């Protein structure tokens, strides 16, 4: 495929300036002016449109392909969310209005929406108060960790460690380290959940918190959560629920009612705002009563006259973690999604997400190895260990899926499963799509036995097939050089 520079010819122009209708004047000749000719490509408008349209078609996206990327919740993003977030009354609003008393008059409507979202997320998580500020899941985790730190410092508790099961999302130990704590990793037992015996041994007075990805990255829900939280609280150890993938339990249980003190949610996963290459995120954090004084400020409150304002009065608050109110339009999309679905709709989200993942796991269990034989939640982890005996890896299968028009699942994660493939279908996919995926996965298992070469050469229908992955990561050559070496 040619670069736009290579398509450039100087007999065509995409843009012409209109005829000069004012007196011409010379540009200043100081040293700020670029004197060399800038080598910009010259193509006609039609060629330009075709170039970028064809480039965009090389990309996998949710609007074009099934995208079962585990842990990432690539569900359909309803277009009405974009329409509403794009209303001029929102997109032309400046948060600077919140800096003056007069400005507050003009943003009452937007504050009302944020206040409503704060309350809905409080209700959904069972917590006492929610901050909407964090701009991503990982930032929500760090916010939680900083609150944990502030809580223990206030009480003069000497704490050094945070317990992290080895099936946690990778950002969990990273957030622990960023807050200045050391992680204690707990291995997984035969049931696919944290080994309770080892947890008890490691749970000393020096532990500040336990952070659990729920369900864990095996897609398994820990059935001992209540006991884990009780044991932790006996030693003033705080409990953190990583709820990035709340679509597993939405409307069914509330993390705080299970005994968790802090919960973060990824609105860009569970509540359907586009993410990854498609948009920014939001990782609100909810806390129970004892942590409310430490919440980031300001947050939105409503007074007796139904006027909305910002609360920032707690001397123990960890302060701001983002400018203004967080990613306002992401918050708006999540609110729209919640209001459209309502309570019953949200319950259906988790029911169908879990059903879809189990349907895939059950359909593939005779073709791929299952590391743990128990019901999964919103995603399932299968392994290509059987295929590995024939020299076929999870990577080969992922490449074959690309050839067949499917975005590969997350592979080689969680780390504790060899040749892992982590599949998250989400609730927005139809049974027909799931059946097509299952057929293709079965075909891959058959090819691994009968024609492994086909899998090793996949994708055969793409302009790029296989990369030297080390070189691609370490020796990046991202600069275009034309014939004049410019
Ligand atoms: C995606 C995810 C995160 C991190 O969220 P970001 O918005 O990417 O920072 C954390 N935990 C879990 C379980 C996740 O799936």
How many domains are contained in the chain? 2
Residue nearest (by alpha carbon) to ligand 1 atom 15: 71
One domain for residues 306 and 385: no
The Å distance, Cα 16 to ligand 1 centre, comes to: 47
Q: Tell me, what's the pLDDT at 59?
A: 82
One domain for residues 333 and 444: no
**Ligand 1 pocket at CB < 6 A:** 71, 136-138, 169, 171, 213, 242, 244-245, 266, 281, 283
Residue 485 has pLDDT above 60, yes or no: no
Helices 328-364, 431-450: crossing angle, 10 deg rounding: 50
Q: What is the DSSP letter of 323?
A: S
One domain for residues 234 and 255: yes
The Å distance, Cα 280 to ligand 1 centre, comes to: 13
- Measure Cα distances from 56 to 42, 310, 404 in Å: 20, 43, 18
Query: Which residue, of 339, 365, 396, is where some domain finishes?
Result: 339
One domain for residues 192 and 249: yes
More confident residue, 203 or 34: 203
Residues 393-431: tens digit of each pLDDT: 999 999 999 999 999 999 999 999 999 999 999 999 999
Where do runs of H (alpha helix) occur along 368-429?
385-388, 394-403
Residue 50 has pLDDT above 70, yes or no: yes
Query: Which residue, of 285, 319, 339, is where some domain finishes?
Result: 339
Tell whether 152 is covered by a domain: yes
Residues 240-270: tens digit of each pLDDT: 999 999 999 999 999 999 999 999 999 999 9
CATH of residue 135's domain is: 3.40.640.10
Residues 319-356: tens digit of each pLDDT: 999 999 999 999 999 999 999 999 999 999 999 999 99
Closest CA to 108 of 306, 404, 388, 379: 306
> Which of 38-52, 102-116, 409-423 has the lowest average pLDDT?
38-52
One domain for residues 332 and 393: no
One domain for residues 334 and 370: no
Question: Of the segments 310-314, 450-454, 473-477, which one has the largest average pLDDT value?
Answer: 450-454
167, 171, 410, best to mutate for ligand 1 pocket (most atoms within 8 Å of CB) = 171
Tell whether 240 is covered by a domain: yes
Give the helix/strand (H/E) hosting 435.
helix 431-450
Q: Tell me, what's the pLDDT at 484?
A: 56
pLDDT (average), residues 163-190: 97
Contact 385, 229 (CB under 8 A): no
Indicate which atom in ligand 1 lies nearest the CA of residue 136: 7
The fraction of the chain above a pLDDT of 90, given in percent, is 82
One domain for residues 224 and 355: no
Where do runs of H (alpha helix) occur along 99-224?
101-106, 108-125, 137-154, 171-178, 196-202
The Å distance, Cα 9 to ligand 1 centre, comes to: 46
pLDDT (average), residues 310-315: 91
Residue 14 has pLDDT above 80, yes or no: no
Burial class of residue 8, CB neighbours in 10 A (0-12, 13-18, 19+): middle
Indicate which atom in ligand 1 lies nearest the CA of residue 243: 13
Q: Which domain holds residue 254?
A: 84-339
Indicate which atom in ligand 1 lies nearest the CA of residue 283: 7
The Å distance, Cα 266 to ligand 1 centre, comes to: 7
Indicate which atom in ligand 1 lies nearest the CA of residue 71: 15
Indicate which atom in ligand 1 lies nearest the CA of residue 268: 7
> Which of 182-196, 203-217, 382-396, 469-483 has the lowest average pLDDT?
469-483
Residue 29 has pLDDT above 70, yes or no: yes
266, 274, 285, 414, best to mutate for ligand 1 pocket (most atoms within 8 Å of CB) = 266
Q: How confident is the model at residue 37 (pLDDT cuts 50, 70, 90)?
A: confident
Q: Distance between CA 419 and CA 237 in Å, rounded? A: 35
Tell whether 400 is covered by a domain: yes
One domain for residues 258 and 385: no
Tell whether 480 is covered by a domain: no
CATH of residue 376's domain is: 3.90.1150.10
Tell whether 477 is covered by a domain: no
Direct distance between the N- and C-terminal alpha carbons of the chain, in angstroms, rounded to an integer: 21
One domain for residues 254 and 387: no
Angle at alpha carbon of residue 295, lines to 247 and 342, rounded to 5°: 30
Tell whether 374 is covered by a domain: yes
One domain for residues 454 and 390: yes
73, 172, 244, best to mutate for ligand 1 pocket (most atoms within 8 Å of CB) = 244
Tell whether 478 is covered by a domain: no
Indicate which atom in ligand 1 lies nearest the CA of residue 217: 13
Q: Tell me, what's the pLDDT at 482?
A: 59
The Å distance, Cα 282 to ligand 1 centre, comes to: 10
The Å distance, Cα 244 to ligand 1 centre, comes to: 5
Indicate which atom in ligand 1 lies nearest the CA of residue 275: 7
pLDDT (average), residues 33-62: 86
The Å distance, Cα 21 to ligand 1 centre, comes to: 56
pLDDT (average), residues 125-143: 97
Tell whether 11 is covered by a domain: no
One domain for residues 161 and 203: yes
One domain for residues 373 and 232: no
Q: Tell me, what's the pLDDT at 278?
A: 60
Q: How confident is the model at residue 147 (pLDDT cuts 50, 70, 90)?
A: very high
Query: Which residue, of 339, 374, 405, is where some domain finishes?
Result: 339
Which distant-in-sequence residues (6+ apart) come within 8 Å of 28 by Cβ?
none
> Beta strand 262-265 with 285-287: parallel, antiparallel or unpaired?
antiparallel
The number of CA neighbours under 13 Å toward the Cβ of 209 is: 32
Query: What integer best gives the mean pLDDT of the chain?
Result: 94
Residues 427-456: tens digit of each pLDDT: 999 999 999 999 999 999 999 999 999 999
72, 137, 377, best to mutate for ligand 1 pocket (most atoms within 8 Å of CB) = 137
Q: Tell me, what's the pLDDT at 16?
A: 82
The fraction of the chain above a pLDDT of 70, given in percent, is 98
The Å distance, Cα 268 to ligand 1 centre, comes to: 10
The Å distance, Cα 250 to ligand 1 centre, comes to: 17
Which distant-in-sequence residues (6+ apart) come within 8 Å of 313 by Cβ?
297
Residue 100 has pLDDT above 60, yes or no: yes
Q: Tell me, what's the pLDDT at 156?
A: 97
Q: Tell me, what's the pLDDT at 483?
A: 58
Q: Tell me, what's the pLDDT at 434?
A: 98
């Amino acid at each position: 495929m040619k670069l736009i520079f290579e398509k450039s010819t100087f007999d065509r122009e995409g843009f012409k300036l209109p005829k000069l209708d004012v007196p011409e004047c010379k540009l200043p000749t100081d040293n700020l002016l670029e004197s060399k000719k800038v080598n910009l490509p010259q193509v006609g408008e039609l060629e330009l449109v075709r170039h970028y349209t064809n480039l965009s078609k090389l990309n996998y996206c949710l609007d074009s392909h099934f995208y079962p990327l585990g842990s990432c919740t690539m569900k359909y993003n309803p277009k009405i969310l974009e329409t509403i977030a794009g209303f001029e009354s929102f997109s032309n609003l400046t948060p600077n209005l919140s800096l003056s008393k007069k400005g507050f008059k003009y943003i009452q409507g937007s504050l009302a929406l944020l206040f409503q979202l704060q309350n809905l997320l409080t209700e959904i998580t069972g917590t006492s108060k929610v901050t909407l500020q964090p701009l991503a899941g990982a930032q929500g985790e760090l916010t939680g960790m900083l609150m944990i730190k502030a809580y223990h410092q206030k009480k003069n508790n000497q704490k050094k460690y945070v317990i992290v099961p080895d099936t946690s999302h990778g950002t969990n130990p990273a957030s622990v380290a960023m807050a200045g704590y050391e992680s204690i990793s707990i291995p997984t037992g035969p049931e696919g959940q944290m080994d309770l015996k080892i947890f008890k041994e490691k749970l000393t007075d020096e532990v500040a918190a336990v952070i659990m990805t729920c369900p864990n990255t095996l897609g398994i829900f820990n059935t001992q959560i209540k006991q884990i939280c009780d044991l932790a609280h006996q030693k003033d150890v705080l409990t953190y629920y990583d709820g990035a993938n709340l679509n597993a339990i939405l409307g069914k249980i509330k993390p705080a009612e299970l005994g968790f003190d802090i919960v973060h949610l990824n609105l860009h996963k569970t509540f359907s705002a586009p993410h990854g290459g498609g948009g920014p995120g939001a990782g609100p954090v909810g806390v129970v009563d004892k942590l409310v004084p430490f919440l980031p400020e300001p947050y939105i409150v409503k007074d007796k006259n139904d006027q909305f304002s910002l609360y920032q009065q707690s001397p123990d608050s960890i302060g701001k973690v983002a400018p203004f109110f967080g990613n306002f339009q992401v918050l708006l999309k999540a609110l729209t999604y919640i209001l459209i679905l309502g309570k019953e709709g949200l319950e259906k989200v988790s029911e169908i997400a879990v059903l879809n993942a189990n349907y895939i796991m059950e359909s593939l269990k005779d073709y791929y190895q299952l590391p743990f034989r128990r019901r999964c939640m919103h995603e399932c982890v299968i392994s290509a260990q059987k295929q590995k005996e024939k020299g076929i890896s999870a990577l080969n299968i992922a490449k074959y899926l690309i050839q067949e028009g499917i975005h590969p699942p997350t592979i080689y994660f969680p780390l504790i499963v060899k040749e892992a493939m982590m599949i998250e279908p989400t609730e927005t996919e139809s049974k027909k799509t799931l059946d097509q995926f299952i057929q293709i996965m079965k075909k891959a298992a058959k090819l691994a036995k009968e024609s492994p070469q086909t899998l090793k050469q996949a994708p055969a229908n793409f302009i790029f097939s296989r990369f030297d992955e080390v070189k691609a990561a370490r020796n990046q050559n991202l600069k275009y050089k034309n014939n004049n070496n410019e």
